Chains A and B, each alone.
Chain A
Amino acid sequence: GQSLEQPSEVTAVEGAIVQINCTYQTSGFYGLSWYQQHDGGAPTFLSYNALDGLEETGRFSSFLSRSDSYGYLLLQELQMKDSASYFCASPNAGKSTFGDGTTLTVKP
């Protein structure tokens, strides 16, 4: 089976940098995805790491270390609109298992 652990809540101020960690235990691992979900909305895809290292997409970056079974999502220059839930997910044989999500609150 697969399990992904991430913190339940993170709080940061506007303009700051925040890192959301995800550790995983999987029987088969192909990579780590990240999704954002605003209250009442649908999860939307942010990034995918198949290989170790850092992937950068604008203000958001995602990192993966297979040897440590660990990844993180880095959000820079935080904005109020970044307040949302963030999920790490592990795709395997076409389907994805999601972590429980981290609620990020950005304060002015």
Chain B
Amino acid sequence: DAGVIQSPRHEVTEMGQEVTLRCKPISGHNSLFWYRQTMMRGLELLIYFNNNVPIDDSGMPEDRFSAKMPNASFSTLKIQPSEPRDSAVYFCASSLFTDNSPLHFGNGTRLTVT
């Protein structure tokens, strides 16, 4: 089991540029989550999918953020245009859709927007 795979590990971009973060969940997991982690706000859930369908995107900060899951093995989180306050570590996690199923996190993408 390769675990949840995220790319890139680090991303440095200038304000105004488009950023795309990628995630491959664990095979067989039917739920996928995008979290953002900052010192100020901790671990925040941005959006989650069940069976490739977005279930709750209430955590997406604003329209500059969008996420897709075109199939069971791939998801993207896009920020367009990016702003310095978007700098954070973005984690993707996957799980089976039950409340006692643990979240398996990827290694995260550290985004820096200058």
A residues lining the B interface (CB < 8 Å)? 30-31, 33, 35, 41-45, 48, 50, 87, 89, 91-101
Contacts and interface: CB of A to CB of B under 8 A. Distances in A.
Contact of B102 (A30, A45, A99): A45
Contact of B45 (A31, A33, A45, A97): A97
Given A31-B100, A94-B95, 19 more contacts: A30-B99, A35-B103, A42-B91, A42-B107, A43-B43, A44-B105, A45-B104, A48-B100, A89-B103, A94-B31, A94-B48, A94-B55, A94-B97, A95-B45, A95-B56, A98-B43, A99-B42, A100-B42, A101-B42
Interface of A is mostly: strand
Question: Contact size class for B?
Answer: 20 to 34
B85 to A, nearest CB: 19
Nearest to A90: B99
Contacts of A30: 99-100
Contacts of B50: 94
Interface of B: 31, 33, 42-43, 45, 48, 50, 55-56, 91, 95, 97-100, 102-108
A98 B42 contact: yes
A45 B42 contact: no
B107 A95 contact: no
Contacts, number: 54
A60 to B, nearest CB: 14
A33 to B, nearest CB: 7
Contacts of B48: 94-95
A87 B104 contact: no
Contacts of B105: 42-44
25 contacts: A30-B99, A33-B103, A35-B103, A42-B91, A42-B105, A42-B107, A42-B108, A43-B43, A43-B103, A44-B105, A45-B103, A45-B104, A48-B100, A50-B99, A91-B100, A94-B31, A94-B48, A94-B99, A95-B45, A95-B48, A96-B33, A96-B45, A98-B43, A99-B42, A101-B43
